[in-house]
């Protein structure tokens, strides 16, 4: 996937965002008129243009939710398995384009911080950490993870948040993070988290607290209320991301994430041309 689908799109999406001023030189035919330095041109009487150098090395940070709710999956893969694949895809896409990549693993606390580096061995370490991570925390604290990101990343970075966003009280710090970094949310969902089947009386367990309860799924009105609640939650997330000007994509465990990610990258590339 990295070689055939994502490396080029990653390049067009994230490269060239940071530009460093180099010098002013005389205009020559073919130069982009938008780069003309009008102050120097007026002072010297003939056109001059500004030259910029692209910042070649970027930093990608993967903020990965490893809370117990990610272990849920009603199809062939759990949300945790999807998150591991996404980590590999992003890490090797960054490596392919000579960018550094680091990671913050979190549950109800920050489990581990892996500083950004640039090597194949380092990318493999990130994947190994994700696959071997077993969180003992109860709950999810995205706000604390973002505070760590803001503290350790002084320069602008690309921040991918991979989570089901089943957490509270993070909106303010998320907006702050998005001001300082190019922040993108990959929201993981499962079909059974969006709609309940008519399966009779079932026992459910909260994977993060261990609390168990019985639910009667034979009642159509109860299933409808549940579906409405999940749809409202999704729309609330979409409105919040839109309000702070942050890109997001919803990825389902029963569907391929390739097409949604490609659309995300292509939309961003068009927007930043």
Query: Left if phi > 0, otherwise alpha if psi is -120 to 50, otherwise beta: which for 256?
Result: beta
Give the integer Cα–Cα distance in Å for 197 and 234.
Answer: 19
Query: Where is pLDDT greater, at 18 or 60?
Result: 60
* Predicted local distance difference test score (pLDDT) of residue 208: 65
Residue 21 has pLDDT above 80, yes or no: no
Reported as a pLDDT band with limits 50, 70 and 90, residue 106 is: very high
Reported as a pLDDT band with limits 50, 70 and 90, residue 97 is: confident
Q: Any idea what the Cα angle at residue 172 is, between residues 171 and 176, rounded to 5°?
A: 115
Residue 35 has pLDDT above 60, yes or no: yes
* Predicted local distance difference test score (pLDDT) of residue 263: 93
Reported as a pLDDT band with limits 50, 70 and 90, residue 172 is: very high
Paired strand residues for 100: 59
CA 16 to centroid of chain Cα atoms: 19
Residue 186, CA distances (Å) to 55, 203, 213, 266, 273 in order: 25, 29, 30, 16, 23
* Predicted local distance difference test score (pLDDT) of residue 58: 86
List the alpha helices (DSSP H) in the chain.
Answer: 7-14, 38-44, 79-96, 120-132, 142-152, 171-180, 191-194, 220-243, 258-271
Query: Where is pLDDT greater, at 211 or 47?
Result: 47
Summary mean pLDDT of the chain: 88
Which helix (H) or strand (E) segment holds residue 100: the answer is: strand 100-106
Residue 167 has pLDDT above 80, yes or no: yes
For 204, phi then psi, to 5°, come to: -115, 150
- Mean pLDDT across 133-153: 89
For 182, phi then psi, to 5°, come to: -85, 95
Give the integer Cα–Cα distance in Å for 109 and 24.
Answer: 49
Residue 207 has pLDDT above 70, yes or no: no
Percent of the chain with pLDDT over 90: 58
- Mean pLDDT across 225-253: 94
- Mean pLDDT across 132-139: 79
Other beta carbons within 10 Å of 63? 24
Reported as a pLDDT band with limits 50, 70 and 90, residue 268 is: confident
Residue 176 has pLDDT above 60, yes or no: yes
Give the integer Cα–Cα distance in Å for 51 and 196.
Answer: 58
Q: Any idea what the Cα angle at residue 173 is, between residues 169 and 178, rounded to 5°?
A: 135
Structure tokens at 188: 């993981």
* Predicted local distance difference test score (pLDDT) of residue 221: 84
Q: Of 69, 76, 93, 70, whose CA–CA distance to 2 is shortest?
A: 93
Residue 16 has pLDDT above 60, yes or no: no
Helix (H, G, I), strand (E, B) or coil at 35: helix
- Mean pLDDT across 159-182: 95
Q: Any idea what the Cα angle at residue 79 is, between residues 158 and 69, rounded to 5°?
A: 100
């Amino acid at each position: 996937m990295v070689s055939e689908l994502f490396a080029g799109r990653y390049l067009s999406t994230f490269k060239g965002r940071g530009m460093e001023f180099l010098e002013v030189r005389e205009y020559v035919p073919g130069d982009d008129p938008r780069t003309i330095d009008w102050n120097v041109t007026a002072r010297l009487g003939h056109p001059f243009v500004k030259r910029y150098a692209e910042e070649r090395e970027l930093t990608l940070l993967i903020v990965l939710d490893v809370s117990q709710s990610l272990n849920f999956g009603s199809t062939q893969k759990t949300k945790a398995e999807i998150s591991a694949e996404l980590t590999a895809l992003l890490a090797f896409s960054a490596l392919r384009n000579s960018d550094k990549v680091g990671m913050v693993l979190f549950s109800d606390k920050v489990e581990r911080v892996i500083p950004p580096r640039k090597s194949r061995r380092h990318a493999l370490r990130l994947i190994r950490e994700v696959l071997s991570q077993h969180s003992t925390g109860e709950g999810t604290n995205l706000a604390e993870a973002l505070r760590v990101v803001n503290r350790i990343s002084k320069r602008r970075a690309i921040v991918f948040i991979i989570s089901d966003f089943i957490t509270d009280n993070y909106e303010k710090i998320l907006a702050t993070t998005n001001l300082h970094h190019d922040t993108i949310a990959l929201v993981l969902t499962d079909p059974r988290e969006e709609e309940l089947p008519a399966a009779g009386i079932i026992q459910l367990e909260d994977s993060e607290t261990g609390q168990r309860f019985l639910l009667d799924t034979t009642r159509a009105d109860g299933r409808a209320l549940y579906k409405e609640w999940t749809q409202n939650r999704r729309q609330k997330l979409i409105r919040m991301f839109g309000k702070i000007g942050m890109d997001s994509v919803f990825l389902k465990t029963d569907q391929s994430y390739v097409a949604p990610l490609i659309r995300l990258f292509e939309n961003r590339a068009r927007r930043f041309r």
